[in-house]
Structure 1
Amino acid sequence: MAKRVKVKANKGGIIDLLHDPGVADVVDDVALQIHGRLPHDKGYEVVYGDRGKTRHHALVVTDDFKAKLDNARNASLLRALGGA
């Protein structure tokens, strides 16, 4: 029978990794890729957040009522993520 392996995470290293500018660039690139899969005439927008308390944030949001309606009818944001 296999022996159980115990893993102890280096919390400082994980925090440094999540705050790394390279990781922030990857997060921004993924947000742009998701935005690229959405209808361009509807009003979706990428919002880049600053580094938060724990990590960098980037959001793809509906900018106006037309985009909200499109997302409600077609689940556009979910489809752009690859979930449906």
Structure 2
Amino acid sequence: MSSYDYIVVGAGTAGSAIASRLSEDPKKRVLLIEAGGSDRSFLIRMPLGFLKALTKPWFTWGYTTEPEPGLNGRVLPVPRGKLLGGSSSINGM
């Protein structure tokens, strides 16, 4: 079984940056874990493709709001990225 000095959970913007900085010390072993897949899909890379990606369960966690009284009880999606780069990968930039 492998051992690590640091385990970073989540390869979003912050997790990737932290893992990168921690791994600068060659004496330290760093493991970066991400639940989602790659950010190399054309839906992520293509302008406006991210709108289609927001409907795919392999790119987002599927979070929603509680029913909103001011919106006649509607439940709204809260897109949160489940892939390398995290929510930064699905923000349409």
Q: TM-score range, shorter-chain basis?
A: under 0.3
More strand by share: 1
- Tell me the TM-score normalized by structure 2: 0.26
Tell which structure's C-alpha radius of gyration is larger: 1
- Of structures 1 and 2, the one with the larger relative CO (CA 8 A, separation 6+) is 2
More helix by share: 1
